[in-house]
């Protein structure tokens, strides 16, 4: 990795499902490539929705990516690619809590780090390492989608099970798309808590 005069940084793009986060990652990486910068894109290996070795937006934009099992593997791969100037990470919420530290290390070494992910889970609560990434980033862009119910700006991801809102106690990480998630605003988002017996 370059240790020259270049100043590294962390950029975070967040928001609910269907707000264009991955499209924005693809746009930023494409611009970096046009500027002749060496780029490397990563995704978590559990994200198999479209293609194991590509990040893909819901609008079918794609970009080559390296699947990894954890944040440490990102650092190891980049150590073997010292010319990399831009490191992009898709779906950061799937990663372990070591991701913010890895991103800090990369930025300290002069890399531009672009991270995108869901800032809240289906419950409407902070998701994985995203809150820390938002806190340490130099630049944050929070995108919104369109609420499927009322048409207002959506900031939440609604999980559905057999067409009905998931319960609060359901598993937090379930990789999926339109078949189990909708974008909703705060007022149309529902997360049923199961009653305690």
How far is it, in rounded angstroms, from Cα 148 to Cα 146? 6
Q: How far apart are CA 181 and CA 175, in angstroms?
A: 10
Residue 91 is among the residues annotated as catalytic for this protein: yes
Cα–chain-centroid distance for residue 117?
2
DSSP class of residue 133 equals: H
Sign, CA torsion 50/140/69/4? positive
Tokens coding 119: 């800032």
Phi, psi of 50 (to 5 degrees): -115, -50
Which one of 45, 91, 108, 138 is the catalytic residue?
A: 91
* Strand partners of residue 136: none
Q: Which residues are catalytic?
A: 91
């Amino acid at each position: 990795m370059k240790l020259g005069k270049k100043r590294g940084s962390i950029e975070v793009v967040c928001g609910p499902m269907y707000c264009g986060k991955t499209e924005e990652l693809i746009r930023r990486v494409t611009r970096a490539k046009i500027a002749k910068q060496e780029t490397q894109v990563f995704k978590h290996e559990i994200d198999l929705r479209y293609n194991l070795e590509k990040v893909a937006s819901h609008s079918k934009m794609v970009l080559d990516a390296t699947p990894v099992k954890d944040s440490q593997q990102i650092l190891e791969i980049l150590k073997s690619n010292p010319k990399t100037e831009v490191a992009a990470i898709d779906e950061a919420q799937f990663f372990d809590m070591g991701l913010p530290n890895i991103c800090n290390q990369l930025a300290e070494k002069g890399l531009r780090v672009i991270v995108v992910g869901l800032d809240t889970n289906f419950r409407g609560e902070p998701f994985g390492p995203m809150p820390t990434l938002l806190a340490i980033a130099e630049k944050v862009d929070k995108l919104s989608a369109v609420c499927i119910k009322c048409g207002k700006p959506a900031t939440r991801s609604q999980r559905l099970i057999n067409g009905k809102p998931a319960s609060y106690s359901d598993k937090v990480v379930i990789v999926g798309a339109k078949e189990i998630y909708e974008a909703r605003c705060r007022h149309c988002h529902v997360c049923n808590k199961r009653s305690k017996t």
